[in-house]
Amino acid sequence: MLKIETFNLGPLQTNAYLLTGSEEGKAIIIDPGMNPGALVKRIENLEIEAILLTHAHFDHMGGVEEIRKLKGCPVYLHDLESEWLSNPKLNGSLNWPQVSPPLTTNPAEYDLAAGQKLNLIGHTFSVYHTPGHSPGSVSFLCGKDLFSGDVLFRMGVGRTDLTGGRERDLIDSIQNTLYTFPDEVTVYPGHGPRTTIGYEKQNNPYVSVNN
């Protein structure tokens, strides 16, 4: 069974997810954001198999370097954003000086691509390319748990006015990918509370099944 712990990190309250499975003492992290002290303390006695990034905006990757150095774990990121970790203009940190200093980190060890299957912590994570918020945004599905990054929120969607964002792509990603999953799939977004696919299909004011 997948155990999911949520950490709200940094000034933008980014959801970082610590996932543990059937292999005791092993875990993965999705989107370790800025000011990751609470997460770092929690993983002190865990082996981190991987850091998975839904995308490379600064508020989702701010804790990457600290945790990667501490745990010696690889980072996975879609290849369309392969340069973003080392480029503060692309990852947005240069544009928000009131929120973050310019952030740079080493490139990801592994590229992500649509259709990929990642076997980690005794579970299989399916990778879906869901662009729109950013060109390399991905969502991870494990059983009936979906990690949607900044694509789909409870009663909301990701902004599309940042580098590489495109509203039409975002709508397509939600309608033609995420909304094809069963209604009971739980959505763990990059910000805010969790929701379900069924709830969003019926209630999301930006993308309903009738749009």
How far is residue 142's CA from residue 140's CA, in Å, rounded to a whole number?
7
Run of H or E residues at 120: strand 117-120
Q: d(Cα 191, Cα 158) in Å, to the nearest integer?
A: 10
CA distance 201 to 199: 6
Q: Is the CA virtual torsion 55, 201, 188, 114 positive or negative?
A: negative
pLDDT confidence of residue 56: 98
Task: Provide the whole-model pTM.
Answer: 0.96
Owning domain of residue 129:
3-203
For residue 40, the domain's CATH number is: 3.60.15.10
CA distance 109 to 107: 6
Number of domains composing the chain = 1
Local structure of 199: helix, strand or coil: helix
What are the Cα distances from residue 210, in Å, to 18, 24, 181, 195, 206? Answer: 35, 44, 16, 19, 10
pLDDT given for residue 47 in this prediction: 97
What is the layout of strands, in order, in the sheet containing 117-120? Answer: 117-120, 123-129, 138-142, 145-149, 186-189, 195-196
- Name the β-bridge partners of 129: 138
Asked, for residue 209, whether it belongs to a domain, the answer is no
Q: Evaluate whether residue 208 is within a structural domain.
A: no
Segments of the chain with pLDDT less than 70 = 210-211
> What letter represents residue 176's amino acid?
N
In the numeric block, the tokens 């949520």 are attached to 6
Contact 170, 179 (CB under 8 A): no
Quick check: is 36 in a domain?
Answer: yes
State the pLDDT at residue 211.
47
Distance CA 106, CA 99 (A): 21
**Within a domain: residue 211?**
no
Q: Which amino acid belongs to residue 131?
A: P
- The pLDDT assigned to 180 comes to 98
Residue type for 82, please?
Answer: S
